[in-house]
Amino acid sequence: MIVTTEQCTVVSITQNPIALIERAGRVCYKSEDKTCPGSGVKLVTKLIESGHESVLEHANMTVKVVCDRGISHEIVRHRLASYSQESTRYVTYDTGAVILPIFDDSSGNVPLDEQIGFDLLAGEGAFADLYTRLTSIELRWLFACLNDMRTYQTQIIDGVAPQMARANLPTCLKTEIFITMNMREWRHFILMRGGTGAHPQVALIADAIYRYLYSVNPVLVKNRVIQKPLPDCRIIKIKEEL
């Protein structure tokens, strides 16, 4: 079994989204003749401030996210998007991977610069080095996951179909999901999943999206901010595979 943390990779984004949004927006006002260097940012700012965000829907971005199944259930509640997700019906978890949870302010702070692997056949004594790295809550979680994965793999060996054996898999099972949203919906995602009441692990993803869009052009995330406190060592280093 592998213990890992969230990941986020941008795989596609509209080329020069500000220029596209400006071109679409100027059709509304028939002001194409006012296009000039720097005019795009000014117009997009005006559109957002006036609440005319439908024009932002012409630009989109696709991101591949690695998170746990529970967090993915929160993500797919955003209806105006397209999703393709790893299937527990067709994928057999010979090794299996889980996402380290954040239970409270004192948990989820273990730096995982690389994945940590565990032998499912080993006893609890094999994990002695973790007693100084994980909280008691995290240790109980770890051993519960190991038991779940052992049961799952035993059923697979016994001939149970993956779509049936998956009933043993924990909610923190690692999943991969492709997400495509337009810029208006990404702004809504940041607003909802970066708020103070958000789950900290989905807030990590919202934070990564926010920081990436800010790097493309700050106006794309105008009036948006991540309000949820996040553990420094779990901040996602977003990647690009464009």
- Residues annotated as catalytic are 193
- What is the CB neighbour count within 10 angstroms for residue 178? 16
* Single-letter amino acid code for the residue at 6: E
- What is the CB neighbour count within 10 angstroms for residue 59? 23
**Tokens 């299996």, located at residue:** 96
- β-pair partners for 65: 8, 177
**Tokens 């799952």, located at residue:** 152
| Phi, psi (rounded to 5 degrees) for 176 | -115, 135
For helices 17-29 and 39-49, the axis angle rounded to 10 degrees is: 70
Q: Is 236 exposed, middle or buried (0-12, 13-18, 19+ CB in 10 A)?
A: buried
